[in-house]
Amino acid sequence: MTNTMRAISYLGPGQLELREVPIPQPNDGELIVKVKAATTCGTDLKTYRRGHRLFKPPIPFGHEWAGMVHSVGEGVSKFKEGDAVVGVNSAPCNSCYYCRRGRPQLCENLESRFLYGTFADYVRIPAHIVAQNTHPLPSNLPFEEAAILEPLACAVLGATYADIHLGDTVAIIGAGAQGLMQMQIVKAMGAARVIMLGRQASRLERAKALGASAVLSTLEVNGVEAVRELTDGRGADVVIEAAGSAETWVLAVNMARPGATVVQFSGLADGTHVSFDARHLHYDEITMKGVFHHTPRTVEMALHLLASGQVKGSALVDGTIPLSQVEDGLLRMQRSEVIKLAVVPEL
Ligand SMILES: [Zn+2]
Ligand SMILES: [Zn+2]
C-alpha cells in the first residue's frame, strides 16, 4: 500500500498545484478521513482570484468535506474506521470571552485552528472539530450533497438572526449559493412568501423552481419599488442580503418595512463604508444585524435540514469533478456556469 496521496496546494492568487504528499497519521483525538466529496465554495474562488486574509500561502486548499473514516487517533470513541462522516471547518474553544458569553462564532481561537486541505485524497480532522463538529452521515444523504454542510450552517445562523415569523414575507438579495440556501431555510421556518432579487436570469429561474414566490431582476426593476408593490406598499417583513456589495447592503435596508429585521449576511472588503438613511433606521425601527460563520448548534440544524430534504443539496451542487480539475471548476464558478461543484478524488 502506498503511503502518499494527492493534495491541492494554494501557492498564491492564480496558483494551484496538485502535489504528492504523505498520507497524514492521526494524533490523539484526530481522524484521518478519506475524502469522498469536497465542495467548491465562493471563498475558494475569492482566494484563488485575489488572495484571502485567512488563507496565507502556501497552504492546503479546500475546506468543505464529507468522507469515510480511514484511521482513528488515540481516545476517539465516537467514530471508527469505515464510518461515513461529515463535518465543518472549525470548532470553538469554549473557554474564551465570547464562547463563555454564548457567541462561539466569535471565538477568539477560531481562525488559528481552521481546517484546510479537503481537496485531497485524505484530510486530517483536528481533535476539536472531531469532538464538536463532525457527525455520522445520515444514510439517505449522498457525500456530494452532505459536503455543503459548512456553508449551510452559516446560512442557518443568518436565517436564525432574521427573526422569521409564520406568514412573513422575506426578501432575499442574491440568488447564489447562500441566497438559495437561505430561501429554503426561511421557508422551512414558516415564511409564507420569499421574494428573490438577483441579476442573473438563470439563477432567478433556479430560485423560482426551488419555490420562490416571486423573482425580480435588479437589472430590470427598481428593487425597492418592486418589493413595495408586492407588499401593499410596506416593504418586506424581513430582508436578507446575500449578494455582497455596498449597494445591496443599502438596498436591503431600503426595502425593509417599519419594524423589520435586516440581516447583512455578505462580508464586504475590509475598509468598505456604507451609509444609510438615518430617518428610516430610527423612526421605522429597523433592526440591522451582521452575521458571521456558524456554531455547533447551527451545524446540527443544517445537517437535519439536508437529511430531511427541507434543503435540497442537489439543487446547489452542479456536478462532480476530479482533483485534477479544481482550477477549471473554480473558473466555471467564476463564469457563473455552476453554483458549486463536488470534487471527488476517486474520479
Ligand atoms: Zn465554504
Ligand atoms: Zn472561544
Ligand 2 centre from 96 Cα, in Å? 4
Question: Max Cα separation, the chain?
Answer: 69
Average pLDDT for 179-192: 97
The reported pLDDT for the residue numbered 107 is 97
What does 37-60 look like in DSSP terms, one character per residue?
EEE--HHHHHHHHH-BTTB-SSEE
CATH number of 155-290: 3.40.50.720
- Report the mean per-residue pLDDT for the chain: 96
CATH number of 4-148+316-343: 3.90.180.10
β-pair partners for 38: 343
The reported pLDDT for the residue numbered 111 is 85
For residue 215, is pLDDT > 90?
yes
For the stretch 48-90, pLDDT in tens is 999 888 888 999 999 999 999 999 999 999 999 999 999 999 9
Ligand 1 centre from 43 Cα, in Å? 6
Ligand 1 centre from 37 Cα, in Å? 13
Percent of the chain at pLDDT exceeding 90: 95
The reported pLDDT for the residue numbered 335 is 93
For the stretch 85-103, pLDDT in tens is 999 999 999 999 999 999 9
What is the domain partition of the chain in residue ranges? 4-148+316-343, 155-290
Average pLDDT for 37-48: 94
Grid cell listed for 100 = 463563555
Ligand 1 centre from 218 Cα, in Å? 26
Nearest C-alpha neighbor of 235 from the set 190, 170, 289, 162: 170
Average pLDDT for 228-257: 97
Ligand 2 centre from 128 Cα, in Å? 11
pLDDT band at residue 281, thresholds of 50, 70 and 90?
Answer: very high
Is the Cβ–Cβ distance between 231 and 249 less than 8 Å? no
Residue list, CB under 5 A from ion ligand 2:
92-93, 96, 99, 107
Average pLDDT for 306-314: 95
SS3 label, residue 304 = helix
Percent of the chain at pLDDT exceeding 70: 100
Identity of the amino acid at 49:
R
Ligand 2 centre from 263 Cα, in Å? 24
Ligand 2 centre from 104 Cα, in Å? 6
Ligand 1 centre from 42 Cα, in Å? 7
Average pLDDT for 116-125: 97
Average pLDDT for 233-252: 97
Rounded to 5°, angle at Cα 289 from 131 and 256? 135
For residue 1, is pLDDT > 70?
no
The reported pLDDT for the residue numbered 308 is 96
Ligand 1 centre from 97 Cα, in Å? 26
Ligand 1 centre from 164 Cα, in Å? 25
